[in-house]
Amino acid sequence: MMKASLLRLWLAFKRLTQLAFPRRFPIVQFPNLPLIVALLTGVASTFLHGNAHSYIAAVSYLAMTVWAYEELAHGVNWFRRLLGLTYVIILILLFARALPAPRTGSKQTLGPRAGWPPRPPALIHPGRVS
């Protein structure tokens, strides 16, 4: 009895994930399981602090990575594959920005703790002495 109801629930979920708009070239789809996990854990991480926040945020990023890979590798059309590629690139940039700067003793190192992104040059105002 329990197995049959779980199977029916799973089949209903699979039917929902097959919904797409427009039908011939799906751009909008019902979220699949990795995206649902990523969204729920992302929202949950906003209410948590400390280590719990870090762990839940990591689960959210991991689920988004799985979703992006699935879209990139198995997307139903070029738009969905491009969407997956775009998010993979965004995740790589976010990860690279979160890495600590190398400790070389030089002030020229780039990174989030070493003045990255660089500041724009100061504007020169006529009649103002700096």
Half-sphere exposure for 6 (CA within 13 Å, toward CB): 3
User: Under DSSP, is residue 79 helix (H, G, I), strand (E, B) or coil?
Assistant: helix
Question: Would you state the pLDDT for residue 32?
Answer: 85
The CA-based angle 82-83-86, given to 5 degrees, is 85
Question: Would you state the pLDDT for residue 105?
Answer: 59
Sorted by where each begins, the domain ranges of the chain are 28-98
Cα–Cα distance, 4 to 10 (Å, whole number): 10
* pLDDT by position in tens, the chain (length 130): 788 888 888 788 777 777 776 777 777 777 889 999 999 999 999 999 889 998 999 999 999 999 999 999 998 889 989 999 999 999 999 888 877 877 765 555 555 555 555 555 555 555 555 4
Question: Would you state the pLDDT for residue 101?
Answer: 73
Question: Would you state the pLDDT for residue 94?
Answer: 86
